[in-house]
Structure 1
């Protein structure tokens, strides 16, 4: 991790105070009691530092001759500066093996340069600033703080993740003095942070071969109550073995709290977890019967939520035999574990089954607080246009906050509401098109609501595509289907659609308000076509069919325009806000 030449490192050491406290004040003297004005060397280095900083910050001074792709973003760099400051880049540029970027510049992928960890764009720019100027810039708050306003940000997960990213860059690119600085920061986190958040620090210390930091992390985790399953899943095998050996020395048995675990009991639990890893819930059911171990004994739902596919979580929930408010050895309920995972479909599924959003961990954090302290302002405040995928972090926080504030009340539409035979088909048309419009305008939220309602598993769910046939898919006749079978199929679809709408109203009220207004303007009162005189009903049905045709024409026209302009419109998830505007413009 040494520099190529001594003169290059003298730039960074000339500002030793920057290394000690992270200050970016270029007028600060490197030696206490000295006068910067009387120190020509210091003034010269300060001017040089300021001039080099322009190469990074001022677009008018963009003379970069190579680019490094970081998370899909191209960052221009100057090979002569990087090579003179870092032995890593010196060796890299000597090879000359890379792709070609903009204007024929050599292109390098950050994922290839740093194989063991991730370096974000913000952390890399701070690293580059240090290479160019010798100054360590203040951590960007958008990526080094969380969205919890009560947090001091001295050990929350975004602060840790940012420091870990900066460590991966510093260690990989062999900037020894910056490694020492960042290591001091990470050592400060180790005792303050939640033990789960020490794990990424330990992994970085292991891959970057930072023995002092690694030893502190191992000691902290060994003294903690982090379960052995998490150790095996999240840490390198050698490290997890060292921690277990150290725990035996301390005579700590985390999983039971006291005494020894029954080896056979532990073996049965591991079999259940392996079955969950294989997505085989049927095998889980068989193992539960044979072993006498319950889902709660194995903390199987906690395990599935932490490590398995959301579909597996849903299947385990469907068994109906797991305690949703059971606490594991860390004092976490399943909703707390789901909040750490930040997967919206899992959180909504748990809430729909009755998980309590008000339960707190042993240190007083609710599920929403956990989510907030894991989320960066950059991600939470990311602008999302209608028709684009919403940020999962924001969805999780919004859903949990809304659940905490929610007053128990019946939705506008209940799946148990009686539906008269004469307007059953029109209700289905209305609901299918409502959900179809939701998929166009809010694809992430609509998909999530459909998953929870099992709407995608019903026999038909055509939405707008059904309008392409003049008769409509509900009018099609299957000669092998009896009227009773057809009625049962229609009601099954209706229940799934109603549940989808109810889920949307509960967890995404703002999206639902937009849809309500849209459908109120463009499809008024068509779910009550059975009311009124026979002549009024006939006129309503005629207007309804006209509106369907008009909507389909607008949809096809916008689709053709998007194709001509080179925009993808193959799925509702790629629809643009322009489409929703055109729908409004075609109101009858």
Structure 2
């Protein structure tokens, strides 16, 4: 448990340079004398010991997160969160046996994901009104030159914490995290802004939503990727901003051919349905090729691995083709983090050493997306590390 060294502050960050110090003072009635900083610090430390003390268990409920039971104290959660107060009033957990009521995190969340480590940081804030250090192993990547100020693991950890704070009703922590995520939006790659925008939409964080939409609208993210990841109303706002921006910059810019776009989208829909035979029929009925439709890129991003294998088996697509953003199919597969597709592409001639327009190889993309906790972790369907053996090909 990380405690603030400043007794005048009830909330502090010490783990990341992009998080600033703040303070939170509990509400008090106008007739009560204000609590002194020392009293608040002592109270925070005493409550924090309930989480840190392994010598005794005074908890009266459990919340299972990622398969790990976390002991909690219902009186504290209920006093700090209306969500938990209502939950404990409504039911006693899903355990039919005598003892502590038990809850499952996945049953409590209407959206998003909250991991074990993020929930511990959230609980620490609930008990102590302090934000403890973010665990390095789950909030930083393994890229050897990354400063971890806005890499994907740092963003994802903050988003998990935001989901917990928003759903469970901790507005002070939501406010702090929103400022941090706005800073991420300015520093992160455009692709990494998408998950921030999704969570901001569900949490109804208007300021963060506006910042994300502005950043995405001025990025090179294609419409298909946006439509796959974002709610329709958000996509429409981005398209309006883009149309206005294009008109201001170049009013004579040629319009997109709607018939060609329609044919490409039909090919993608066939892939969505795992219907490669329909895709082949569509190809014979139009002048659009697999490469012009970026069909292999699309399959690697969104389809089942067997569909990727079938498209490769046709022998009509260039496995090292670059899309409009300069990404090869392997770059897309690595971003998806699907080992079986990565291995399939490598086995069919994909070059792991091919860089993006920014100079990143598939290996460096993989490292930037991988948490330290997950590094070297084997999966049942393959190992991402195989890319390292092929980097010099």
Question: Is the TM value for this pair above 0.5?
Answer: yes
Query: For the residues of structure 2 that align with 1:265 and 1:76, how far apart are their CA atoms?
Result: 57
- Please, what is the CA RMSD of the aligned residues? 2.5
Partners of 1:190 and 1:285 lie apart in 2 by: 40
1:332 matched residue in structure 2: 327
Q: How does 1:11-30 map to 2 (within 5 A)?
A: 16=9, 18-19=11-12
Q: 1:15 to 1:259 in 2, by over 3 A?
A: farther
Which whole-Å deviations, capped at 9, do the CAs of 1:117-174 have from their partners, x for residues lacking one? 1000100100100111111111100100011121111111100000000000111111
Q: Aligned pair 1:348/2:336, yes or no? A: no
| Equivalent in the alignment of 1:404 | 391
Distance 2:381 2:96 in 1: 32
Match of 1:85 among 74, 80, 93: 80
Give 1:447-486 correspondences, 5 Å limit: none
Supply the distance in 1 between the matched residues of 2:96 and 2:55 (Cα, whole angstroms). Answer: 20
* 1:109 paired residue number: 104
The CA deviation at 1:15 is 5.7
In the TM superposition, what is the alpha-carbon distance from 1:18 to its structure 2 partner? 2.6
Tell me which residue corresponds to 2:30. Answer: none
Q: 1:48 aligned to 2:43?
A: yes
Is 1:377 the equivalent of 2:372? yes
Tell me the residue number matched to 1:59.
54
TM-aligned CA distance change 1:360 to 1:77, over 3 Å = same
SS in 2 for 1:357: coil
CA gap 1:43/1:207 in 2 versus in 1, 3 angstroms: same
Residue 63 of structure 2 aligns with which residue?
68
Q: Is the 8 A contact 1:222 1:243 kept in 2?
A: yes
CA distance in 1, matches of 2:387, 2:108: 38
Deviation at 1:22, TM superposition (A): 6.6
1:43 Cα deviation after fit:
2.1
Tell me how far apart the structure 2 counterparts of residues 29 and 195 of structure 1 sit (CA, whole Å): 29
Aligned residue in 2 for 1:196: 191
Specify whether residues 268 and 103 from structure 1 end up closer, same or farther in structure 2 by C-alpha distance, changes over 3 A only: same
Conserved in 2, the CA contact under 8 Å of 1:276 and 1:312? yes
Contact 1:54 1:61 in 2 (8 A): no
Runs of 5+ consecutive residues of structure 1 not aligned to the other structure: 1-13, 32-38, 383-389, 407-588
Measured after TM superposition, the shift of residue 393 of structure 1 is 10
The correspondence of residues 536-547 of structure 1 with structure 2, limited to 5 A, is none
Which entry has the higher C-alpha Rg, 1 or 2?
A: 1
Match for residue 159 of structure 1 among 141, 154, 158: 154
The aligned residue for residue 290 of structure 1 is 285
Kindly tell me: are residues 367 and 15 of structure 1, through their superposed partners in 2, closer, same or farther at Cα, counting changes over 3 Å? farther
TM-score by length of 1: 0.60
State the TM-score, normalizing by the size of structure 2. 0.89
Conserved 8 A contact 1:343-1:392: no
Check whether the contact 1:273–1:300 (CA below 8 A) recurs between aligned residues. Answer: yes
Cα 1:320–1:90 shift into 2, 3 Å: same
Structure 2 partner of 1:229? 224
CA distance in 1, matches of 2:387, 2:276: 28
- CA 1:284–1:405 in 2, change beyond 3 Å: closer, same or farther? same
Q: Deviations over 1:384-413 (max 9, x none)?
A: xxxxxx3379811x110011146xxxxxxx
Q: Aligned partners of 2:83, 2:371: CA distance in 1, in Å?
A: 31
Residue 55 of structure 2: SS of its match in structure 1? helix
SS in 2 for 1:166: helix
Whether the aligned pair in 2 keeps the contact of 1:114 and 1:172 (CA below 8 Å) is yes
Residue by residue over 1:201-238, the C-alpha shift from the partner in whole angstroms, topping out at 9 and shown as x without a partner, is 00110000100000100111111110110111111111
Contact kept in structure 2, 1:359 and 1:367, CA below 8 Å = yes
SS at match of 1:213: helix
How far is 1:115 from its partner?
1.4
Residues 20 and 345 of structure 1, relative CA distance in 2, 3 Å threshold: closer
Which deviations, in whole Å up to 9, do the C-alpha atoms of 1:347-388 show, x marking residues without a partner? 111111111111111111110111111111111155xxxxxx
User: Which residues of 2 match residues 167-206 of structure 1 at below 5 A?
Assistant: 167-206=162-201
Number of corresponding residues = 371
Q: Is the 8 A contact 2:12 2:132 kept in 1?
A: no
C-alpha deviations, 1:459-509, integer Å up to 9, x for none?
xxxxxxxxxxxxxxxxxxxxxxxxxxxxxxxxxxxxxxxxxxxxxxxxxxx
Structure 2 gap segments, 5+ residues each = 1-6, 25-33
| Aligned equivalents of 1:238, 1:19: Cα separation in 2 | 37
CA distance in 2, matches of 1:381, 1:59: 31
Moved over 6 A (4+): 20-23, 28-31
Deviation digits for residues 418-476 of structure 1, max 9, x if unmatched? xxxxxxxxxxxxxxxxxxxxxxxxxxxxxxxxxxxxxxxxxxxxxxxxxxxxxxxxxxx
